[in-house]
Homo-oligomer: A and B are copies of this chain.
């Protein structure tokens, strides 16, 4: 399942769909003005789109359930996160562009600091620079030997984060994290969580022990913590499920990673948000049917708890909208993967505003793009996993069910 449409309804077409995701878009009202970040933000371009768009609210998973970015995006892509539950290790490996093979075991590592007794003193090793991260990873590559029958890969991510991938036969991801989630205690041992995973647990323990030995003389990054063991199982692709040649344009590795998981091409990461739209313009006639654009700051400013900075981040994306609409996509969707209300300072469960701009909508003369307008919109409150069917329908890419 997870396929929420009967596959044989999909028709090939020439229409182009743009899915523009503002991470953590949904918010909560300021107690004084009664307006959310999105409602407060200067968004003349989004408001103009919303006036005649199909508006609604997307529930990422279930009422009350808050999702991470991985399941949040999978749901937008039409993959039910309850079925396609993806581990952080796989997301991170895909995010750094590592060419995962089916059966690979991936886990996210932190460089950490420990004292002479082996107790963790800093779970992020003082947040090393990306350059320092690469140096440390090179040292691990040189110093840690692959056990027989297994290939070991270390890949740098950002700051204190790196990825470990094991390739071999019969590896199990049923392993407990070694990150104790607190300082003053040693890392946890690698423990198997189900019968049959004991051999992999011992193997990973040996590799982590070796790696810690290699890092022993480092002043800060002299320990490793592992989180999110996951096996790579390829998903049915956008091409297979929807007949869409899809491409992702995102500045942060993880979003390219989740897009790659569903078979999207991923363009080189732009350095600025403007560059995301430039890459869209440049690839507009490259043969793609579906363009996924990702903007991150809306979520970051929400997590900072800064209402006006989040509103400004939304306004900054709004200023890029005319360049998107100038391309005349057949369907333009603007939404988020989840809510990150600045007052809540974290991802939340609240449904996320969504706008589908297309000629085939009922909405007319609606008052801007915001949570309240979306609650009154023609789409109602629906699960994010149903967005793709709506996208295909508005793009004229779904045929009739039944005669």
Residue A231 interfacial (CB < 8 Å) = no
Residues of B within 8 A of A365 (CB): 34
Bound: A391/B349 CA distance, A: 11
A360 touches B (CB below 8 Å)? yes
Say if the beta carbon of A85 comes within 8 Å of chain B.
yes
Q: Does A378 contact B (CB under 8 A)?
A: yes
A-B contact pairs, 23 of them (CB 8 A): A5-B62, A5-B65, A6-B82, A9-B65, A28-B361, A34-B365, A36-B362, A63-B386, A64-B390, A65-B401, A66-B393, A66-B400, A67-B401, A68-B400, A70-B403, A85-B402, A86-B402, A348-B360, A348-B393, A349-B393, A350-B378, A351-B378, A376-B376
Give A390's nearest chain B residue, CB to CB: B64
Interface of A: prevailing SS: loop
| A203 CB–B CB distance under 8 Å | no
Tell me, yes or no, whether A368 is within 8 Å of chain B by CB.
no
Q: Does A40 contact B (CB under 8 A)?
A: no
- A393 with B65, Cβ < 8 A, contacts A70-B403, A81-B402, A378-B375 known: yes
A114 at the interface (CB under 8 A from B): no
Q: Which B residues touch A376, using CB under 8 A?
A: 375-376
Residue in A29, A360, A378, A403 with the greatest tally of chain B CB atoms within 10 Å: A403
Docked Cα-Cα span, A64 to B56, in Å, equals 13
- Is A389 in the interface zone, CB < 8 Å from B? yes
Tell me which of B6, B81, B392 contacts A64 (CB under 8 A). Answer: B392
A379 CA / B59 CA spacing, docked (Å): 10
| Binary interface encoding of chain A residues 265-301 relative to chain B, with 1 for a CB under 8 A from any of its CBs, else 0 | 0000000000000000000000000000000000000
* B403–A69 CB distance below 8 A: yes
A61 within 8 A of B: yes
Report the interface size class on chain A: 35 or more
Residues of B with C-beta under 8 A to A62:
4-5, 386, 389
Chain A interface (Cβ within 8 Å of chain B)?
4-6, 9, 28-29, 34, 36, 57, 61-72, 81-82, 85-88, 91, 228, 341, 344, 347-351, 360-362, 364-365, 371-372, 375-376, 378-382, 386, 389-394, 398-403
B28 touches A63 (CB 8 A): no
Residues of B within 8 A of A66 (CB): 393, 398-401
Question: What separation, in Å, do the CA atoms of A398 and B381 have in the docked complex?
Answer: 21
The 9 closest A-B pairs by CB, nearest first: A64-B389, A64-B393, A71-B402, A88-B403, A64-B390, A68-B402, A63-B386, A380-B381, A34-B364
Chain B residue with Cβ nearest A338: B400
Q: How far is the CA of A402 from the CA of B74 in the complex (A)?
A: 11
Q: Which residue of B lies closest to A397 (CB)?
A: B64
Please give me the residue from chain B that is nearest to A363 by CB atom: B29
The reply to whether B401 and A64 form a contact with Cβ atoms under 8 Å apart is: no
> Nearest-CB distance from A90 to chain B (Å)?
10
Establish whether residues B34 and A398, one from each chain, have CB atoms under 8 Å apart when the complex forms.
no
Given contacts A28-B360, A86-B402, A402-B81, A386 and B91 within 8 Å (CB-CB): no
